[in-house]
Structure 1
């Protein structure tokens, strides 16, 4: 499929433009997660279940829209774990992110996530402060392994089977479901995890819980890759199509 590798790489938007898309997409994603969490606390202060429903519904809808907006530019990774897997799988077939691209994506995503928390706090006039919400129980960490493995398997399966057009609703639906079937409420994203340190609200996470969360997410990503290669051995050939195909020719200049 990727015989004309040099053509395909040069036909992508420049790295700086993809980095901007990853920054904005991840920032807006965290704004949605943190902002809807604050709103849920204020609207339903005595009903945690309803707060989670409000938070997850906003995230499902918002993530779907963000993938549609930024996917054609950067692929809409918004997640260093997804970018890392894209790079790892691409090494097998000469596709996917370069090492420089991986580093640029990860930095853009992390800075975007932090800015999203700060902006969400400001919108609701909640002071930006470090979260005190401890989450690193064994159950939560297991939940992060499961959530991240499922996310990686879903995204790269869609690319491998040429169904990337379904990525926006499928990823949104998966994250929405994982809010409920995982004990951790499915962070499944190292950048978002770091960003959520900076809001001591419903969606926050204490700094002490973050290293274990990120380790669990990386383990989950590795599990997801293992399952992917077991089911679709040639999946690495479509690394450039993750989460959505992003060729410059498909974007109006």
Structure 2
């Protein structure tokens, strides 16, 4: 790998292996992802050092922070060390001296999990993970891509990459239903998701994440700014046919409250 990196000014490590949402509750489903983010990131970082690469950009997630309730969370907020966070924390440690990007929930074209959520919403089923008043921080894939490019010349450090305006779980589900053009008949599992404990810790906690530290250039704000407008932006440029829609069965087994 070091031979392949030789002569390059920067390396971006976005490697991951997220399981399908139907497997989120099974710890065994995360082993491959944890392996990629621990051993894999260590291999990339060591190859960068051997090749003399000047800038390493490492992907991570903002879901590592401790629950913040209604308060703003920034890069100085302590992270939590729950089981599902081990891989990301290891990847960040391996990238010491480089740039770490803590992304919010991805949504938009190609973000498989968001496509599954949209499919559910079009069928009047809306996912809420955690109390309705808890906050969720997201990022449109186009803005995430722009942030990666900007990070190639950013100062070393850790940066949150999220929309400007985090939504509550209820506002998130309302925005999703509105974009899908389907009134929700059922929302869930809401607060009941807390019963799954640390298996859903990263998804049920309230994280109102601030993104103001990462401003790589004048006007370098996310172009979408808010999740509610992001769904609309996506759907204005995409129309699902029945054959294109992600299978509903990929999601509902993980959420008994949503199963029919």
TM-score (ref. length: structure 2) = 0.29
More strand by share: 2
Structure having the larger proportion of residues in helix: 1
User: Which gives a bigger RCO, structure 1 or 2 (Cα 8 Å, sep 6+)?
Assistant: 1
